């Protein structure tokens, strides 16, 4: 395939520990001289546009791109990840720019994080450690425990929009743990892997753990709001490893404070990082992580290699994983 100039606009968000090998990306473009990397994490749209000058390909990671500012040289935006709500797809299509993503690189890692939350909540692991951190050893004196402590066998996990690869992996692991899986989405059907819920509210009412897996768009923004949270069991937990905006954070904080639900495991937030005064940092029934689902080193290396495959396919005239066809 032909040579092309590629620009990795925010390499520090991907290669923050300098452990990644980008040689496959360079080779896909035609050699090391064809790849330019910028080692910061959150460049502005204007800075990205400037960096794009004389480049055919932009590689981005969860950073807003203003397509209207890009130079005419840009023909491909390769989002290094699954979500692509940082790019105006229609505007890109009008300008003849192909946008592709990498939909399956983090399947195992994110699914494992979901199940880690389930197991942490069921065994009160985080609660136990927080008690020790503040010098409270009362659970060791016993015989009573201060937090719920339950088996996961026989419990139900509900996947909101979970018919993709990550949801399928979660369901398979849940089955191995003796759990039942419900799933709700437009195209969900009952299979040997899971039961399709009749509606979102049906899933929320029946699940012991609710895990969010849908993309963020106009239809899903704040899908999990006060009404939805009110349908959940008081003993149920919400897990979000997808996109923060799917959950109305204000309503969630209120539900957590009132005990509407038992707790939440949040790897994503509406604003990342959350504001300094966000209650999510200190609520005792929240496990908060800084969007780490995709950040294991093996996961990130797989991502870089799959970005290279996307670029090679595009330069061969057979683009794959196109999200604005």
What positions carry a catalytic annotation?
Answer: 243, 272, 291
Do 38 and 7 meet the contact criterion of CB atoms below 8 Å apart? yes
Within its chain, how far is the Cα of 43 from the centroid?
A: 21
Q: Where are the beta strands (DSSP E) in the chain?
A: 6-8, 35-37, 57-60, 76-79, 98-100, 156-160, 180-184, 195-196, 209-212, 237-240, 263-266, 286-288
Asked whether the CA dihedral 69, 12, 314, 243 is positive or negative, the reply is negative
Do 156 and 181 meet the contact criterion of CB atoms below 8 Å apart? yes
Do 311 and 57 meet the contact criterion of CB atoms below 8 Å apart? yes
Do 51 and 72 meet the contact criterion of CB atoms below 8 Å apart? no
Do 45 and 66 meet the contact criterion of CB atoms below 8 Å apart? yes
Residue among 8, 6, 97 at smallest CA distance from 61: 8
């Amino acid at each position: 395939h032909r040579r092309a100039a590629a620009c990795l606009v925010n390499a520090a968000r991907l290669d923050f520990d300098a452990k990644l090998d980008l040689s496959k990306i360079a080779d896909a473009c035609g050699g090391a001289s064809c790849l330019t990397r910028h080692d910061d994490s959150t460049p502005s749209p204007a800075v990205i546009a400037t960096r794009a000058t004389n480049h055919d390909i932009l590689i981005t990671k969860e950073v807003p791109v203003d397509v209207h500012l890009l130079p005419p040289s840009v023909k491909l935006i390769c989002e290094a990840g699954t979500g692509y709500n940082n790019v105006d797809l229609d505007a890109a299509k009008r300008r003849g720019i192909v946008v592709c993503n990498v939909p399956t690189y983090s399947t195992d890692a994110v699914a494992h994080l979901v199940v880690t939350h389930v197991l942490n909540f069921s065994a009160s692991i985080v609660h136990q450690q927080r008690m020790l951190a503040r010098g409270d050893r009362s659970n060791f004196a016993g015989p009573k425990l201060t937090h719920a402590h339950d088996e996961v066998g026989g419990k139900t996990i509900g996947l909101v929009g979970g018919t993709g690869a990550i949801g399928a992996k979660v369901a398979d692991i849940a089955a191995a743990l003796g759990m039942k899986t419900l799933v709700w989405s437009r195209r969900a059907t009952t299979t040997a892997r899971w039961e399709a819920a009749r509606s979102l509210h049906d899933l929320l009412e029946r699940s012991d753990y609710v895990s969010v897996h849908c993309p963020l768009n106009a239809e899903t923004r704040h899908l999990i709001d006060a009404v939805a949270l009110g349908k959940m069991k008081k003993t149920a937990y919400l897990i979000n490893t997808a996109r923060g905006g799917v959950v109305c954070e204000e309503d969630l904080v209120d539900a957590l404070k009132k005990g509407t639900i038992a707790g939440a495991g949040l790897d994503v937030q509406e604003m990342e990082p959350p504001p300094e005064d966000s209650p999510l940092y200190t609520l005792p029934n929240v496990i908060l992580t800084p969007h780490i689902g995709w950040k294991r080193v093996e996961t990130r290396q797989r991502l870089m290699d799959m970005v290279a495959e996307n670029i090679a396919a595009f330069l061969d005239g057979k683009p794959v994983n196109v999200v604005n066809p």
